[in-house]
């Protein structure tokens, strides 16, 4: 049997909100003939459905989805713009790095070229300086030789004028330097014998008063050890003319003087000689060495 839900008459007044609230859970039911069948209970509605009906919820969801879609579109556009800017920045950075590296490479090449030119210039300057030094030494030697020859010429001229008297000139086979004449032995002797030999020639063992005189003696002496006129037999360093000598380490070979007693010759080392290269050494006075005599000129 078919049933129908009996709706209120259209002529009746609309129920109030209170009646709706009271009858919200039930409806009157009648059959087709109009016979009343009673009230039928409807399932109760939740409070959420009463507050937010389905249509309103759908609208809220649609609005939310729209906002979300717009946000996604905006974020996507910003992401694309960021990537574009990033690519541009990367390109600019690569271009800057390339320009910078090209500049650094150019500077390195210029520096290497400059260093090479400076090294070559320094080498040329050094070679030129060496040549200048050699030329200077050669000229100085020639000037010394010319001066000596001039002095010898003047001596010969003076000898002619004085009938054999040599005033202010070095004897034959003697070398002149400043105001003295020097004679280098060919034989060897002890320090005392060398001293007596010089005295027989009205001279004395050489007394060195300046670095210039030291250099001259080194140039004139023969290879080997050579006695000079310095001794400390009195326990005080003195030259053969009695003048005092103040010890100067620059005059001596390394570690000298040492007054060595290990030679088994008796006593220490009290007499001084020049070594092969020039610096001095104290030795036993009985050693057989070359020697140099010095004669002061009387002008």
DSSP states of 134-160 as a string?
HHHHHHHHHHHHHHHHHHHHHHHHHHH
Domain residue ranges in the chain: 175-296
With the C-alpha atoms ordered 43, 48, 49, 51, is the resulting torsion angle positive or negative? positive
**Which tens digit of pLDDT belongs to each residue from 18-44?**
444 444 444 554 555 555 555 555 555
Residue 37 CB neighbour total at 10 angstroms? 13
Record the pTM.
Answer: 0.48
Task: List, for residues 181-230, the tens digit of each pLDDT value.
Answer: 999 999 999 999 999 999 999 999 999 999 999 999 999 999 999 999 99
- Comparing 228 with 104, which gets the higher pLDDT? 228
Does an H or E element contain 184, and which? Answer: strand 180-184
Q: Compute, in degrees rounded to 10, the torsion defined by CA atoms 87, 88, 89, 94.
A: 90
Cis bond before residue 257 (omega within 30° of 0) = yes
Residue 279 main-chain phi, psi, to 5 deg: -60, 155
Q: Considering only residues 195 and 268, tell me which one the structure prediction assigns the higher pLDDT.
A: 195
* pLDDT of amino acid 227: 97
What's the CATH number for 175-296?
3.10.100.10
For 62, the token pair is 């649609």
Return the exposure string of 131-167: e unless at least 16 CB atoms fall within 10 Å of the residue's CB, then b.
Answer: eeeeeeeeeeeeeeeeeeeeeeeebeeeeeeeeeeee
User: Rounded to whole angstroms, how far apart are CA atoms 184 and 294?
Assistant: 9
Which band of pLDDT confidence, cut at 50, 70 and 90, is reported for residue 13?
very low
Contact 205, 211 (CB under 8 A): no
**Rounded distance between C-alpha atoms, residue 282 and residue 227, angstroms:** 10
Instruction: Characterize the bridge pairing of strands 226-231 and 290-296.
Output: parallel
């Amino acid at each position: 049997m078919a049933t129908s839900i009996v709706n209120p008459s259209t002529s009746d007044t609309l129920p109030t909100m209170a009646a709706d609230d009271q009858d919200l859970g039930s409806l009157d039911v009648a059959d087709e003939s109009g016979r009343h069948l009673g009230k039928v209970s409807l399932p109760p509605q939740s409070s959420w459905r009463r507050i937010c009906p389905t249509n309103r919820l759908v609208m809220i969801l649609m609005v939310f989805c729209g906002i979300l879609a717009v946000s996604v579109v905006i974020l996507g556009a910003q992401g694309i713009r960021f990537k574009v800017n990033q690519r541009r920045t990367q390109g600019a950075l690569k271009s800057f790095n390339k320009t910078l590296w090209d500049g650094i490479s150019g500077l390195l090449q210029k520096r290497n070229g400059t260093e090479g030119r400076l090294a070559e210039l320094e080498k040329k300057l050094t070679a030129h300086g060496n040549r200048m030094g050699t030329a200077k030494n050669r000229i100085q030697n020639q000037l010394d030789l010319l001066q000596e020859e001039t002095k010898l010429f003047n001596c010969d001229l003076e000898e002619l004028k004085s009938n054999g008297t040599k005033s202010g000139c070095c004897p034959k086979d003697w070398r002149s330097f400043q105001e003295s004449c020097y004679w280098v032995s060919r034989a060897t002797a002890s320090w005392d014998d060398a001293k007596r030999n010089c005295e027989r020639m009205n001279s004395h063992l050489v007394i060195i008063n300046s670095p210039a005189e030291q250099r001259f003696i080194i140039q004139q002496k023969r290879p080997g050890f050579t006695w000079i006129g310095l001794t400390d037999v009195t326990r005080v360093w003195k030259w053969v003319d009695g003048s005092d000598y103040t010890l100067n380490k620059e005059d001596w070979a390394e570690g000298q003087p040492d007054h060595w007693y290990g030679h088994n010759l008796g006593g220490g080392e009290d007499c001084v000689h020049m070594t092969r290269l020039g610096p001095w050494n104290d030795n036993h006075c009985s050693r057989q060495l070359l020697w140099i005599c010095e004669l002061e000129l009387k002008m």
